[in-house]
Amino acid sequence: MTPSLNTIIIYARDMKKTAEFYRKHFGFQTTGEVIEGLIELLPSNGGATILIHQAAKSVKLGQVGVKLSFDVHDVHGFIAEATQNGLEFGPIHIANGYAFANTKDPNNNTISISNRAFRKIGED
C-alpha cells in the first residue's frame, strides 16, 4: 500500500487570520468555522487540503523545516496580483528553466510560488 499526501496541517496563533490569508492569496475555499479544533481549507484548483490547527504557546512557529510550494503558470503575473492584494514577495529567482519567489504566511512559515511544474526540460 502506497500512501499519498493530501492534507497539510499548519499550526497557527490566530487560526482565522491564517485561514483568511490562504483564502485571499491562494484561492482556498473555507467557511472559516472551527470544527473539531480545525479550520479546513479546500483547494479550488486541485492539490492538498490545508487544516489550520491552534498552536500551543510552547510551539515555535516559522521554522524552515517545511516550505509550502504552490504551482503557478506565471510567477511575475501572480506576484503583480498578490502585491495589489497586500502580499509581498522577495526577489524572483531563475533556475534551470523555471522561476520562483518566496513569501511568509502570518505565522512566519515560508511559502514559495514556482512555475517549475510547467517547465519544459532543457529550457534555460
Residue 81's pLDDT is 95
25 and 6 both lie in a single domain: yes
For residues 78 and 24, membership in a common domain is answered with no
Alpha-carbon distances, residue 64 vs 30, 60, 97 (angstroms): 26, 11, 25
User: Domain with 11 in it: what CATH number?
Assistant: 2.60.40.4320
- Same domain (yes/no): 86, 54: no
3-state DSSP of 48-117: CEEEEEECCCCCCCCCCCCEEEEECCCHHHHHHHHHHCCCCCCCCEEECCEEEEEEECCCCCEEEEECHH
Domain final residue, candidates 59, 82, 106: 59
Q: Does residue 40 sit in the same domain as residue 73?
A: no
Domain identity same for 41 and 67: no
**Residue pLDDT tens, the chain, 124 long:** 666 778 998 999 999 999 999 999 999 999 999 998 999 999 998 899 999 999 888 878 776 667 888 999 999 999 999 999 999 999 999 988 889 999 999 999 889 999 988 887 655 4
47/98 Cα distance (integer angstroms): 20
Domain check: are 49 and 31 in the same one?
Answer: yes
Domain around 7: 1-59
- For residue 5, what pLDDT is reported? 76
- If asked whether residues 20 and 41 sit together in one domain, one would say yes
The pTM of the full predicted model, rounded to 2 decimals, is 0.80
Whether residues 54 and 34 fall in one domain? yes
Q: Are 72 and 78 in contact (CB under 8 A)?
A: yes
- Which CATH number is 108's domain given? 3.10.180.10
Q: How many domains does the chain have?
A: 2
Q: Among 59, 80, 105, where does a domain finish? A: 59
Task: Give the alpha-carbon dihedral of 86, 92, 96, 98, to 10 degrees.
Answer: 30
